[in-house]
Structure 1
Amino acid sequence: MDPIFLMNNVWIIICFTLVLLMQGGFILLEAGSTRMKNAGHIAGKTIFTVGAASLVFWAVGYGFIYGESIGIVGFSDFFYGDFTSVVDGLAGSVDFIFQLAFAAIALTIAFGGFAERGKLSAYVVFAILFSAVVYPVVAHWIWGDGWLGGLGKQDFAGSTVVHLTGAMAALAATIILKPRIGKYNKDGSANDLAGHNQVYTALGVLILWVGWFGFNGGSTLEVDGAFFGYVALTTQLAAAAGAVAAMFIVWAISGKADIPTTLNGALAGLVAITASTAFVAPWAAVIIGLVAGFIVYFSMKFFDKAKIDDPIFALSVHGMAGIWGTLSTGFFATPELAAMNGGLPGLLYGGGLTQLGVQTLGVVASGLYAFIASFIILKIMDKVMGGIRVTEEEEIIGLDLSEHGSYGYPESMPEEKKQGA
């Protein structure tokens, strides 16, 4: 057997493991960014997310994305189990498991919009529907044999497919669920419902940062030529620039080097470079990360003023940075890399507005579909299920107790709650 074929498959399994490990980063990031009374719930919900996304992706998601196209979706390869096929130079099962990890990340991002107030039963139903009819449609359009891919849409590892799709679903959830109790005052001012553990959030971001080398680097799908090293370089530069830019902008404006903003800047840089990592020069990766750091800070402020309660900052980190990252290839894609990886050069390299136009169309079409489809699903769920938000009493005592009957930090639990549980 061809040794390069074997090495490619080993490489992608390693990258799948790194992307799967990113769920651990999300556990720490989301638990640390929310209050102690919901920490256990968030951790357990994330594990459920991986399980639900995996089963739905196996049953129908992969087929809707990569099956034989019937227009809006693919329609074959359901209940995947082919151990003989070769896809993109990989064993079919290896390609399948790698793509599954991306679907699970998109769902985890979407669930950020439910944080601290969504019913567990709503997670269950939405996990199935999002993984079946929201994420696969966008993924088919761009990564399957879909119309946006046919137009030359550049999205190397998922700024649109994964991050923007998940963020638009999170936006639909935040609108329908409405803000958490105590977040906004009658005069419109916002209260800081601070997360309970900044060490968790920092460690979560670092784990996500490491996992991103599987996320982006694995999307090369091969070791031949070691192009994954170049992808790792642009990924690292953008993340670094995002962290630095976010810290300095919040420091300059507020007088304090706010830790959550710095962390979100790093993530925004990672999200932004995800689409363009294989298309741009290192200097452009730094610019992309710097702009992402600025965008994440100002968009966080904007959503707060608009009374859109986003505890995990999914809309800023994954949504706004995802849009910028997708558009950035329309400006910065080099002729050589565009020729190698698909699409046309960017505006700054004499490519005109064509690629930027395709990128813009991809953002608008994918974002609108993900938001509208998720909003309709959640609205129907809200009516049929008698609401997808927990009661006021359940929200006040926390979802650890109200949804799971146990506390994420048992030793910190008040004695009267222990006796009443």
Structure 2
Amino acid sequence: MADKSFLSWPFFEDRHRTLAAELEDFAKGLQVDHSDTDQACRLLVKAMGAAGWLQPTASEDGAPLDVRTLCLSREILARHDGLADFALAMQGLGTGALSLFGTAEQKAVWLPKTRSGEAISAFALTEPQSGSDVANSTMTATDDGDSYVLNGEKTWISNGGIADVYTLFARTGEAPGAKGLSAFVVTPDRQGFEITERLDTIAPHPLATLRFTDCRIKKSDLIGNPGDGFKIAMSVLDIFRSTVAAAALGFARRALDEALERVSTRQIQGAPLADLQMVQGHIADMALDVDAAALLIYRAAWAKDSGAPRVTREAAMAKLFATEQAQQVIDKAVQLHGGDGVRSGETVEKLYREIRALRIYEGATDVQKIVIARQTLGAFAADSANQGG
């Protein structure tokens, strides 16, 4: 039974505690057939939409997204099923730009559908030659009268191949680098939009490479203003990066639960494994990592919900620490399970495959270190300048 004492922390309100209890009941009843990943995602989106769990993933009225609710939702779902977490997360990430910067018409068309589970969304940012270096994107959106014409490729796109709507980033050329990108809402029925490859990973999720060849979209498909794409992308990631950390926390909590069950029931020389000091040391490390990650995650979420315009440093710290330490927690759980830990289909084996990608996507660990260092150095320089130092 996962620890729930953290819900009494002052980061949360009663509505968050109520949500956690109700979503826990929903997640316990999930029966996910993982034999067909695409179909599983479609069914999960529909089920969560019908039950109302996708409502917090978008905001139609301009109200801020509740990051604590998103983090709690991802943590709970990840603890029960990694694909369920993925399905909810992508409904939010895929429509984040519309929630924050979309026109009233764009919101009215898409957000009721994605929040109800009627439509699946995707976030198309990564390119073959530019992963974390968003400013190096080369896909183009050429202004052509009443249209934009898209040319280029996107890859590692979550929900690629099954999404009904994509938030797409392309170079419109207002300025070099980051200042020359724009964001668009694109549907896969456009001529010139092609899925060129479905990508298989160690923890199966719907992923694809997209190609655009003279793909014409309307001027009204622009999200925000021309040249605002980088700002839009970073604003969305500033919110959802903390939720990646929360998913990692969910995986880590499940691994700790599985380890506690194992060492409490498995006998060695007539006594439980839990009686061994070395095993107790592992359990202590795991519990410490889980609680420290939770504190960083919900600090970042609380700060954003409290009105902080940006939580770049806090979110980067949460994402880096939670994903790295979840990997360690899960590895210890595998070790404590012995041979059973690497048996295909065992819970800790599935967690071992699930966690690895989280240390890469939405900003790899090394990128987060750069972000944290720059933010910290920048704050020091600003303080020194203010003090005349």
Query: Shared topology, TM-score over 0.5?
Result: no
Please state which structure has a larger fraction of its residues in strand: 2
TM-score (norm: length of structure 1): 0.28
TM-score (norm: length of structure 2): 0.30
Q: Which has the higher contact order (CA 8 A, sep 6+)?
A: 1
